[in-house]
C-alpha cells in the first residue's frame, strides 16, 4: 500500500483554513498515486483546541469539514483527526476521533482510548475515552487506527506512575493488523524525536507490522510541534522520515523494500534553535503580527533572543532598543550596537535617566547618587518595560522578553519590567544553555560578539552589580533547579548529590515563593520535558515545609 504522511501545520480554530490545507495535501498525495493520505491528530480543529471544544458551533463546523472532504471523492483515502460527538450518550459529549474518508463518505471512525491528563495535557476534561479499538480493512490490508497516546501505553514516553487499564495496540496486534497508523499532535521537548523513533521501532518489531507515525508541526501558543513523522518496517527500520519543524509530505510503499525520503533530524542546539525559531514565527504569524521589539542590554540573554527573532521574522522586522541608565557601562552600549549591526536588525536608543529621575522625584524613593535600593532597581526595569510597551503599542509590534529559566526559577526578574511583553522565547532555557546556544550561533562566524559571551552577567541596576552577588554560579544553580524541576527530586535527594543543604533549601524556597511572579509572565516557549508554563500547576499560597 502506498501511504502519504501529510505533516501539516494547522492553526487552532481555523477550521476552514485547516480543511483547505488538508485538501491541498490530499490532492498532492493523489497525484503521487497514494492509496492513503494520513494527517495529524485533531488536524481539522488544530491542537490543542482547549475550551473551543465547549462551543457547539465549533464542533458543528469541524464535523461539516469531514463532509466537505468526503465530497471531494478523491481516489486517495484520507485519515484525519477531528472532534467527534460521543455516540454512546454517556460520559463526556465528545471524543478525540480519527476518520477514514473514502468513496465520497466517512467510511470508518475510531476514537482515542487513552486520554492524557499530566503535564500540559487535560484531555479527560473534554473527551470520553473509547472502550475498544478494532482494525478495519482497506484495499486488502488490515489497518489499525490509533491516536497519539494510544500507541505509548507501557512505554518510557509517558510517566511511569501512569498505568492505563487497556492497551489499544495490544488489541490490534491480537487482531493481526498489518499496518498500525498513529496520528499525533505530540509537543516537542529536547530529544523527544529520537526517543519516539526508538520506542516505536521496538514496537514495530514486536508487532511484526508496519507503523506509520504522523505528527503535526508548527507552534500553538507555548507548545511547539516538531513534526519528525516517520514510517517503520516490520523489522523496525525507518523507511521514511519527514523534516523537523516544517510542513512536509513523505511517501511510503509498504510492499517495497526500497527506502523513501529520509530527512535528517535536527539534534542538540540545532534542534533547540529550530524549535524556538518556529515558536516565534508561528506565534507572530498566527496572531497576525510581523514585527518584534526587544530591549538590547548588551547581555547574553537579549543577544540570543535578538538572534532568534531575526532568524524567525527577518532582521528587517526586528528592532532592538538600547535603554541606558546612569549605571549602564559604555561597553554595554557598544556591544549592543555591534550585535544589532551583526544581525542587521534595527536599533534605537531611548535613555531612561530622566524617566527614572522623574519616578524617584515623584515617589521620593531615593537619591540617584546614593544607595540604590531594590525599589530603585526595579524602577529602572519598569521604566524600560514601559518604553518597550509604548513602542509596541505605537508601531503595532509585539514585545519579546529576554528572561531565562534560571532567573525565572528564583524570581530574579522584575514584574512589569523585564517581564513585560507578549512572548518569552528563552524562558525554558537555563542560563548555561543560553550560553551554549550563543556559541552555536557563532559556530561559523561571529554573530553574537565575543565580548557579550565572555562578560560576567549583570543587570546593571546599581554600581558594580553582578548576577553572582545574589545567585550561586549558574552551573550550580541550573543543576539544582534541573534536578528539582525535571527529575522531580526531593531536597534530600539533591543534597545527597553533593550540594550544600543551606544552598538547596534557600534556592528551592526561592523557586516556590516566586510562583506568583511566574503566573504573571508572558507565554514561554516550551523546549524541555518540564517547563514553568501550563504544565506546572502549583498553588501560589502554600506552606513550604516540603522544601526544607
pLDDT band at 160 (very low <50, low <70, confident <90, very high): low
In a domain, 220, yes or no: yes
Q: Please report, rounded to a whole number, the percentage of residues in the chain having pLDDT higher than 90.
A: 82
Q: In what order do the strands lie in the sheet with 141-147?
A: 136-138, 141-147, 179-184, 210-215, 230-232, 238-241
| Grid cell listed for 515 | 510562583
| Grid cell listed for 480 | 539544582
Greater confidence (163 vs 408) lies with 408
Residue 200 confidence (pLDDT) above 60 = yes
In a domain, 280, yes or no: no
Active site residue 112: yes
Q: So what's the pLDDT on residue 266? A: 82
Residue 161 confidence (pLDDT) above 70 = no
Residue 354 confidence (pLDDT) above 80 = yes
Sequence-distant (6+) residues with CB within 8 A of 24 are none
Greater confidence (156 vs 538) lies with 538
Structural domains of the chain, count = 2
Distance CA 443, CA 300 (A): 16
Q: Does 192 share its domain with 291?
A: no
CATH number (domain holding residue 519): 3.40.50.620
The pLDDT of 63-85, averaged and rounded, is 97
Distance CA 539, CA 548 (A): 17
pLDDT digits (tens, 9 = 90+) for 300-309: 999 999 999 9
Query: What are residue 213's DSSP bridge partners?
Result: 182, 230
In a domain, 360, yes or no: yes
Residue 368 confidence (pLDDT) above 60 = no
Distance CA 456, CA 435 (A): 12
Cα atoms found within 13 Å of the Cα of residue 95, Cβ hemisphere only: 22
Residue 468 confidence (pLDDT) above 90 = no
Q: Provide the residue count of the chain.
A: 548
Query: Among 233, 265, 297, which residue terminates a domain?
Result: 265
Cβ neighbours of 161 (radius 10 Å): 6
Residue 159 confidence (pLDDT) above 80 = no
The pLDDT of 1-30, averaged and rounded, is 98
CATH number (domain holding residue 57): 3.60.110.10
Q: Does 56 share its domain with 197?
A: yes
Active site residue 41: yes
The pLDDT of 484-510, averaged and rounded, is 96
In a domain, 281, yes or no: no
Q: Does 346 share its domain with 492?
A: yes
Pairing status of strand 36-38 against strand 94-102: unpaired
Phi, psi dihedral angles at 49 (to 5 degrees):
-80, -15
From first CA to last CA, the distance across the chain in angstroms is 60
Among 109, 123, 128, 148, the one annotated catalytic: 148
The pLDDT of 334-346, averaged and rounded, is 97
Q: So what's the pLDDT on residue 466? A: 81
The pLDDT of 284-307, averaged and rounded, is 97
Q: Does 414 share its domain with 498?
A: yes
The pLDDT of 515-531, averaged and rounded, is 95
DSSP for 184-252? E--B--TTHHHHHHHHHHHHHHHHTSEEEEEE-EEEETTEEEEB--EEE-TTS-EEEEPPBSS-EEEEE
Q: So what's the pLDDT on residue 451? A: 96
Q: Does 339 share its domain with 438?
A: yes
Q: Does 435 share its domain with 337?
A: yes
Residue 74 confidence (pLDDT) above 90 = yes
Whole-Å CA distances, 261 to 7, 215, 326: 14, 16, 58
Query: What are residue 251's DSSP bridge partners?
Result: 4
Distance CA 548, CA 541 (A): 17
Residue 367 confidence (pLDDT) above 70 = no
The pLDDT of 300-320, averaged and rounded, is 98
* pTM as predicted: 0.95
Write out the residue range of the structural domain in which residue 89 sits: 2-265
Among 41, 141, 149, 222, the one annotated catalytic: 41
State the helix-helix crossing angle for 431-441 and 474-485, rounded to 10 degrees: 110
Q: Does 353 share its domain with 234?
A: no
In a domain, 22, yes or no: yes
Residue 277 confidence (pLDDT) above 60 = yes
Distance CA 548, CA 535 (A): 24
Residue 137 confidence (pLDDT) above 60 = yes
Among 112, 286, 291, 517, the one annotated catalytic: 112
Q: So what's the pLDDT on residue 238? A: 93
Greater confidence (368 vs 505) lies with 505
CB 410 within 8 A of CB 392: no
In a domain, 538, yes or no: yes
Summary count for the chain: helices (H), strands (E): 16, 20
Sequence-distant (6+) residues with CB within 8 A of 67 are 106
Rounded to 5°, the CA angle 13-15-21 comes to 120
Distance CA 220, CA 286 (A): 8
Residue 154 confidence (pLDDT) above 90 = no
Q: So what's the pLDDT on residue 213? A: 97
Q: Does 139 share its domain with 8?
A: yes
Query: What are residue 217's DSSP bridge partners?
Result: 226
Q: Does 222 share its domain with 328?
A: no
Q: Does 183 share its domain with 91?
A: yes
Q: Does 212 share its domain with 260?
A: yes
Q: So what's the pLDDT on residue 267? A: 87
In a domain, 460, yes or no: yes
Q: So what's the pLDDT on residue 115? A: 92
Distance CA 510, CA 491 (A): 13
The pLDDT of 335-353, averaged and rounded, is 97
Over the chain, what is the mean pLDDT?
93
Amino acid at each position: 500500500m502506498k501511504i502519504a504522511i501529510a505533516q501539516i501545520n494547522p492553526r487552532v480554530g481555523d477550521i476552514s483554513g485547516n480543511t483547505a490545507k488538508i485538501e491541498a495535501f490530499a490532492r498532492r498525495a493523489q497525484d503521487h498515486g497514494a492509496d492513503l493520505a494520513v494527517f495529524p491528530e485533531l488536524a481539522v480543529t488544530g491542537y490543542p483546541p482547549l475550551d473551543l471544544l465547549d462551543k457547539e458551533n465549533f464542533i458543528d463546523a469541524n464535523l461539516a469539514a469531514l463532509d466537505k472532504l468526503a465530497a471531494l471523492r478523491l481516489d486517495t483515502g484520507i485519515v484525519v483527526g477531528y472532534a467527534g460527538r460521543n455516540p454512546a450518550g454517556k460520559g463526556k459529549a465528545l471524543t478525540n476521533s480519527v476518520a477514514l474518508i473514502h468513496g465520497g463518505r466517512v467510511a470508518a471512525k475510531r476514537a482515542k482510548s487513552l486520554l492524557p491528563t499530566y503535564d500540559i495535557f487535560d484531555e479527560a476534561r473534554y473527551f470520553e475515552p473509547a472502550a475498544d479499538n478494532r482494525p478495519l480493512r482497506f484495499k486488502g490490508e488490515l489497518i489499525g487506527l490509533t491516536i497519539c497516546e494510544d500507541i505509548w501505553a507501557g512505554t518510557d514516553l509517558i510517566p511511569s506512575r501512569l498505568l492505563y487499564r487497556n492497551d489499544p495496540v495490544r488489541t490490534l496486534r491480537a487482531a493481526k493488523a498489518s499496518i498500525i497508523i498513529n496520528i499525533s499532535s505530540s509537543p516537542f521537548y529536547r530529544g523527544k524525536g529520537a526517543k519516539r523513533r526508538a520506542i516505536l521501532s521496538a514496537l514495530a518489531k514486536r508487532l511484526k507490522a508496519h507503523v506509520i507515525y504522523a505528527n503535526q508541526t508548527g507552534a500553538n501558543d507555548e507548545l511547539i510541534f516538531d513534526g519528525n513523522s516517520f514510517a517503520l518496517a516490520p523489522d523496525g527500520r525507518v523507511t521514511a522520515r519527514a523534516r523537523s519543524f516544517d510542513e512536509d509530505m513523505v511517501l511510503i510503499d509498504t510492499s517495497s523494500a526500497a527506502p523513501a525520503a529520509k530527512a535528517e533530524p535536527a539534534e542538540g542546539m540545532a534542534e533547540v534553535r529550530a524549535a524556538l525559531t518556529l515558536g516565534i514565527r508561528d506565534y507572530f504569524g498566527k496572531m497576525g503580527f510581523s514585527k518584534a521589539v526587544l530591549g538590547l542590554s548588551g547581555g547574553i540573554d537579549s543577544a540570543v533572543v535578538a538572534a532568534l527573532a531575526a532568524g524567525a521574522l527577518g532582521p528587517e522586522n526586528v528592532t532592538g532598543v538600547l535603554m541606558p541608565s546612569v549605571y549602564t557601562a559604555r561597553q554595554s552600549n557598544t556591544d549592543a550596537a555591534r550585535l544589532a549591526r551583526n544581525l542587521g536588525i534595527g536599533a534605537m536608543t531611548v535613555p531612561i535617566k530622566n524617566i527614572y529621575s522623574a519616578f524617584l522625584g515623584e515617589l521620593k524613593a531615593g537619591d540617584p547618587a546614593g544607595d540604590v535600593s531594590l525599589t530603585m532597581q526595579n524602577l529602572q526595569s519598569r521604566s524600560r518595560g514601559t518604553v518597550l510597551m509604548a513602542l509596541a503599542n505605537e508601531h503595532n509590534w509585539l514585545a519579546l522578553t529576554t528572561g531565562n529559566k534560571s532567573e525565572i526559577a528564583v524570581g530574579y526578574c522584575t514584574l512589569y519590567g523585564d517581564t513585560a511583553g507578549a512572548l518569552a522565547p528563552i524562558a525554558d532555557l537555563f542560563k548555561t544553555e543560553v550560553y551554549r546556544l550563543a556559541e552555536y550561533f557563532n559556530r561559523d562566524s561571529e554573530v553574537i560578539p565575543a565580548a557579550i559571551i565572555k562578560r560576567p552577567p549583570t543587570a546593571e541596576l546599581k554600581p558594580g552589580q553582578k548576577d553572582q552577588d545574589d545567585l550561586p554560579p549558574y552551573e550550580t544553580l541550573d543543576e539544582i533547579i534541573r534536578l528539582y524541576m525535571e527529575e522531580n527530586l526531593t531536597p534530600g535527594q539533591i543534597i545527597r548529590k553533593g550540594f550544600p543543604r543551606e544552598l538547596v533549601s534557600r534556592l528551592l524556597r526561592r523557586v516556590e515563593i516566586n510562583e506568583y511572579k511566574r503566573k504573571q509572565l508572558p507565554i514561554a516557549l516550551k523546549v524541555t520535558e518540564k517547563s514553568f508554563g501550563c504544565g506546572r500547576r502549583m498553588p501560589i499560597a502554600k506552606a513550604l515545609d516540603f522544601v526544607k
